[in-house]
Amino acid sequence: MTILSELHQDHINLNRLLEILTLKVERLREGNHPNFSLMADVVAYVGSYADQHHHPREDVMYEHFRGRDADLDKGFDQCEAEHAKLKQLSHDLAESIDAILHDAVMPMDRFTDQLDEFVSTERQHLDFEERELFPGIRKLAGDTDWQQLEEALPLPEDPLFGEKQAAEYRDLYRALMEDMNRNGAAH
């Protein structure tokens, strides 16, 4: 399994969480109030996993292939800017949820728009990488590239979807599945 397939699996997992947040946006727009504690956990996971594990691995891979294809290099630059934007959006959303959990007054439509922007920006970013960057890297990469990257990047430990689920995320994963099943039945 190459780093590219590992990152692709990360995207699949992140998209699962984004689907749940999309349901939350729909329910908020219908006037329903979601479980803000669970939402806080999901946003914290997406933000911290992306910042601490996923994006650094992508950045090393992109840097490895930089300079070989001008169009890919532009894509790498765009991706770097998007990583910074996503980090800020994640931080801002986490702060808003924290404020709501501490009884701060915030218009629900403003919060819903903020959540929607986070989800849609994250999805567009993942789609861009899958559609533009990953295929370009696949064309350029040889066995030596994958070996060098494997040596440079040890396997990450994903606390939610990885084999060694951290105890703090087991409950979150279970709650997400239950919540998704409940919401799926409602629509």
- Residue 146 CB burial class (10 angstroms; 0-12, 13-18, ≥19): middle
Give the range of the structural domain holding residue 164, as residue numbers without chain letter: 3-186
Q: Provide the pLDDT for residue 102.
A: 92
Domain of 125: which CATH number? 1.20.120.520
Q: Which two tokens stand for residue 163?
A: 């084999």
Is the separation of the CB atoms in 137 and 65 below 8 Å? yes
Total structural domains within the chain: 1
The yes-or-no verdict on residue 80 having pLDDT over 60 is: yes
The yes-or-no verdict on residue 164 having pLDDT over 70 is: no
What's the pTM value of the predicted model, to 2 decimals? 0.83
| More reliable by pLDDT, 72 or 41 | 72
